[in-house]
Amino acid sequence: MSSTSEPGPLQLVVGDEEFLAERAVSDLVRRARQRDPDTELRRFRTSEVAPGELAGHLSPSLFAEGRVIVLTHGQDANKDMTAAIADYVKAPADGIVLVVQHAGGAKGKAVLDLMRKAGAHTVTCNRITRADERSDFVRDEVRRHGGTITPGALAVLVEAVGSDLRELAAAAGQLVADTGGTVDETGVRRYHRGRAESSGFAVADAAVAGDRRAAMEALRWALVLGVPHVLIADALADSVRTLAKVGSAGRGDPNRLAGELGMPPWKIRKAQQTVRQWRPEQLAVAIAATAQVNADVKGVAADAGYALERAVLAVVSARSPR
């Protein structure tokens, strides 16, 4: 949850996740305006403002109006700008909040060091790249809006919306509002039907279940709606690999196996139910088919769509009793 306290005079927003950085700055402005509704926001790109000009913006006015000064791309600060910031942080002006946004890393590290040494409050906004981090983000977003989300709904939502945090945040907020707070898989599929049901996730689920009709229908819709071939191939491969990993681990407790297999308990539980219908030799055939289509959609095959159809049918056929 965002803080309600008045922000300190020196703030540092570090990281290259643009959405989170924007939200952090917006939260600082909101908090400053709780104290003074007339607080003015001034935003500058560090490399495009002169040190003298910055000094003017950071000087207190005769009427002591509140001000939030945001310097974006702090990593681009030259020596003169770094020196100007260093001079200011020694004695920040009352009523003014200086926010420096910095991508992190070695470039422009002097600005990071001087802000930290001066006692700036730091918010970290690192880029979210892993699937489990996106899931955690969505879960936190739902909680931020006062709701809860089931594991199954979480998986479908992330698969349906994708990796863009802005879209995930908007979807989470909308679902909490529309469902009254409890977000389940039915609710996600209802509000994201076109995207969720035509995704690689749906294609893979139907294929490993041996449902030829559903798998081909989901695939055709996915292709019509422009879901990238690579994403469908990846989802198919991930589902088959998951079955192989869970099958080789035996029938243990999903919660215990989660750490060992590197996947959430709900995913293990779901795979345990499906893998009972598979024999090792059938999984070997499916694994070979998904490995081939992975190469096909990356340029080996002349027709990636046809290659996907062939792979889906191969997985369905491998699953069928002999």
Sign of the four-CA dihedral 277, 281, 285, 290: positive
Is the full-model pTM beyond 0.75?
no
Residues of the chain with pLDDT under 70: 1-4, 62-64, 193-198, 321-322
The structure tokens listed for 171 are: 């979807």
User: What's the one-letter identity of residue 69?
Assistant: I
pLDDT at 3: 62
The structure tokens listed for 299 are: 């340029």
Other beta carbons within 10 Å of 155: 21
The total number of residues shown for the chain amounts to 322
The structure tokens listed for 155 are: 């998986």
Closest to 251 (Cα-Cα) out of 232, 276, 233: 276
240-265 pLDDT per residue, tens? 999 998 988 877 888 888 778 887 78
pLDDT at 1: 44
The structure tokens listed for 49 are: 């403002």
pLDDT at 55: 92
Query: Any residues with CB less than 8 A from the CB of 137 and at least 6 apart, and which?
Result: 128, 165, 168, 169
pLDDT at 194: 61
Distance of alpha carbon 199 from alpha carbon 151, whole angstroms: 18
Distance of alpha carbon 280 from alpha carbon 20, whole angstroms: 44
Angstrom CA distances, 138 to 12, 116, 161, stand at 24, 30, 11
